[in-house]
Amino acid sequence: MSNTDNKKVSLFSKLRYIFDRKQKGQLVVLAVLILIGGIFETFSVSMMIPVMSGIIDPNAMQDVIDQYSVLRHIVEFFNLGVDAEFAKKLAVAMIVLFLVKNAYQIFLIHRQNTFITRARNDMISRVMREFLNRPYEDYLGADIPTVFRITDSDIPRTFTLMLSLLSLSTELIVSIGLGAVILIMNPMMTVICVTVFILLTIFNTKLLKPRLNKIGRENQETQSRIAKWRLQAIYGLKDVKVLNRQDFFIRNYYESGKVGADLARDYAVMNNIPRILIETMFVTVILVYILYSMLTKGNPKDVFVQMGAIGLAAVRIMPAVNRINTYLAEIAYNQYSLDFVYNNLTDSMKMDKAMRAERAAIAGPELHLEKEIEIKDITFAYPDAETNIFSGANMIVPKGKSVGIIGPSGAGKSTVVDIILGLLHVQSGEILCDGSNIFSNYDSWLAQIGYIPQTIYMVDESIRENIAFGIDADKIDEDRIWEVMEEAQLADFVRSLPEGLDTKIGDRGVRLSGGQRQRIGIARALYHNPEILVFDEATSALDNETEAAVMEAVNSFHGKKTMIIIAHRLNTIENCDIIYEVKDEKITKTTLEGRNVIH
């Protein structure tokens, strides 16, 4: 979605879009609670005015009651006599009212923050789910730090904006209520205060908001750069150290962080400007008005009572107006993050809808390989690429056979595998399992496949959890773990370890040798007992001796499983039943005859 289209969608429309039905219902409840809280706040402050008047002049209590209809109705309803003790009773009642009001405020804060924190977690989980469910092509060349930023920064900032909106609603209700009280007492003072408020808000909206929007956007970009330098340094730690390039990464990380620090400073300064202006203007206006009243009105006591009441309300209104402008600044600063979240969810939902419609059109029963896998007339090119990888290519993998795939570097050997796995979507043609499109029941297709890549992804957990990858600890089948370790020729090694299956392997398996990592990868692929095993240059990073040992485990599946093996070295596939060569956008059946097979 372009920035122009983005601007046409209002802030509230974006918020309605990113919240689900349940969250919208919770927001309605919150709105009612906020309204009640605003009424409590307004009532408690406005009632202080007659109480103060009565305490200052107890003899004039009846006049005060007659002046304020709410107070008069309360006195009449409860049949309270107006005497010297009445002001004291009223003061006690006010204490109770403030206790109840403040207890309610704590309850409201709890409800607001419960909604914000839980909805934020739901949103992060939802975005993670949608990222993981996106087509694999979307991740090719993806800016990973930006992917991290949306969950670590943009979504939290979006909910900071949401909390600012909720708090803004509270302050607006209180300000309007107290403004009405002052309007009744002193219309002229109200007009002056409202004028000051409007002028300050225009200043904030027209001058500060665009600058805060810009700072928010620049900060978002800076956070991506900071994350990029951090990730590159950590993931490439070995190369960084060996090449002695620490200073390069530290310098770039520092320079990006310095830009971020300056942006944070600018935001803090601009966010405080409204508060200082409001405080200065309101105090000046109120004091000037009091001086004017004292000079023009005959009875100083009347001026004191009225100004005391106005001052009390103003003391509550001034922080409210200050916070209103602060919340407006926070909304402006965080809006770019909301835009980014909105755009990503919009794109994800459109893509998900299109994929579901495509699969629904060819939906069928569960797939079970009985005869053959067929790549039929496929044409494929990577996004934004100028040339095709395949044009009208075909390949057949019979059940129970081992199929080797060879070809020059960059010809598309790994691409064939990604297409068979359904990770890449062809522009034309089909991938068939016994004549049925694999996307007619994609989950059942994946359930038949065990995939062993060149680099096995390891988590910093135990060997057990790395084999049963992505399965909850209480659901791991211990017997099956040992079965697949035997099949992968890993069991003896694990038995030799002091902690056995509980041995921690370190980040990305750094405590294991290359051969051991590959065997764990094979055991992982076998855990769910797949019919098809796919080896994507699974031994290319190993030395000859280690490769031979791993290939001994691989060859033990010959005739028992359907195997697709991408070759780095020809000896890897010399025992395969069928060999295909990927070349010139085609997949052609071939043999190793006449080729140099090095053992």
More confident call, 318 vs 340 = 340
Query: Which pLDDT value is given to residue 399?
Result: 92
* Other Cβ atoms closer than 10 A to 534: 24
pLDDT tens digit string along 321-370? Answer: 777 777 877 888 788 888 888 887 777 767 667 667 777 777 778 889 99
| Vertex 448: Cα angle to 446 and 450 (nearest 5) | 85
Candidate ranges 168-182, 229-243, 444-458; pick with highest mean pLDDT: 444-458
Report yes or no: 435 and 352 within 8 Å, Cβ to Cβ: no
Residue 572 Cα distances to 302, 387, 403, angstroms:
101, 30, 11
Query: Which pLDDT value is given to residue 2?
Result: 45
Q: How far apart are CA 328 and CA 142, in angstroms?
A: 34
More confident call, 70 vs 383 = 383
**Where are the extended beta strands (E) located within 304-371?**
none
The sign of the torsion formed by the CA atoms of 537, 540, 542, 546 equals: positive
CA dihedral of 586, 589, 591, 595, whole degrees rounded to 10: -10
**Residues 6+ positions from 379 with CB-CB distance below 8 Å:** 388, 390, 391, 392, 393, 426, 427, 428, 429
pLDDT tens digit string along 239-284? Answer: 677 667 788 888 888 888 888 888 888 887 877 777 777 777 777 7
Query: Which pLDDT value is given to residue 312?
Result: 54
Contacts 24+ apart (CB under 8 A), 463-469: 463/494, 463/497, 463/500, 463/501, 463/502, 463/503, 463/505, 463/520, 464/501, 464/502, 466/505, 466/509, 466/520, 466/524, 467/520, 467/523, 467/524, 467/527, 468/524, 468/527, 469/524, 469/527
With 70 as the cut, is the pLDDT of residue 573 above it?
Answer: yes
Candidate ranges 69-83, 109-123, 210-224; pick with highest mean pLDDT: 109-123
Mean pLDDT for 517-526 is: 87
pLDDT band at 4 (very low <50, low <70, confident <90, very high): very low
With 60 as the cut, is the pLDDT of residue 456 above it?
Answer: yes
Q: How far is CA 542 from the centre of its chain?
A: 38
pLDDT tens digit string along 287-316? Answer: 777 677 667 765 555 555 555 555 555 565
Report yes or no: 420 and 373 within 8 Å, Cβ to Cβ: yes
Query: Which pLDDT value is given to residue 74?
Result: 65
Q: What is the average pLDDT score of the chain?
A: 79
Q: How far apart are CA 454 and CA 92, in angstroms?
A: 77
Q: How far apart are CA 132 and CA 106, in angstroms?
A: 39
Strand 428-433 vs strand 586-590: parallel, antiparallel, or unpaired? unpaired
- In the chain the domains, ranked by start, together with CATH numbers, are 14-346 (1.20.1560.10), 372-590 (3.40.50.300)
Residue 180 Cα distances to 50, 62, 186, 302, angstroms:
15, 23, 10, 21
pLDDT tens digit string along 480-493? Answer: 999 988 888 888 88
With 60 as the cut, is the pLDDT of residue 83 above it?
Answer: no
With 90 as the cut, is the pLDDT of residue 396 above it?
Answer: yes
477, two tokens: 């089948």
77, two tokens: 């309803």
With 70 as the cut, is the pLDDT of residue 35 above it?
Answer: yes
Query: Which pLDDT value is given to residue 594?
Result: 66
Q: How far apart are CA 463 and CA 348, in angstroms?
A: 35
250, two tokens: 């530290």
pLDDT tens digit string along 140-189? Answer: 666 666 777 787 788 888 888 888 888 888 878 877 777 776 676 667 76
510, two tokens: 């750094």
Q: How far apart are CA 423 and CA 536, in angstroms?
A: 14
More confident call, 418 vs 92 = 418
Q: How far apart are CA 322 and CA 171, in angstroms?
A: 9
Burial class (CB in 10 A: 0-12, 13-18, 19+), 389: buried
More confident call, 467 vs 130 = 467
Query: Which pLDDT value is given to residue 461?
Result: 82
Query: Which pLDDT value is given to residue 155?
Result: 86
pLDDT tens digit string along 48-61? Answer: 666 666 666 656 56
Query: Which pLDDT value is given to residue 86?
Result: 66
* Other Cβ atoms closer than 10 A to 169: 17
Q: pLDDT over 70 for what percent of the chain?
A: 78
User: For tokens 């990592």, what's the residue?
Assistant: 517
More confident call, 146 vs 558 = 558
With 80 as the cut, is the pLDDT of residue 130 above it?
Answer: no
* Minimum mean pLDDT range among 7-21, 66-80, 222-236: 66-80
**Where are the extended beta strands (E) located within 307-401?**
372-380, 390-398
> Of 161, 270, 262, nearest to 208 (Cα)?
270
pLDDT band at 554 (very low <50, low <70, confident <90, very high): confident
Query: Which pLDDT value is given to residue 1?
Result: 47
Report yes or no: 425 and 384 within 8 Å, Cβ to Cβ: no
Core vs surface per residue 252-274: b (16+ CB within 10 A) or e: bbeebbebbeebeebbeebbebb
With 90 as the cut, is the pLDDT of residue 567 above it?
Answer: no
Query: Which pLDDT value is given to residue 66?
Result: 64
Identity of the residue numbered 359? R
With 60 as the cut, is the pLDDT of residue 542 above it?
Answer: yes
Mean pLDDT for 467-482 is: 87
**Residues 6+ positions from 387 with CB-CB distance below 8 Å:** 381
Rg of the chain in Å (alpha carbons)? 35
Report yes or no: 318 and 278 within 8 Å, Cβ to Cβ: yes
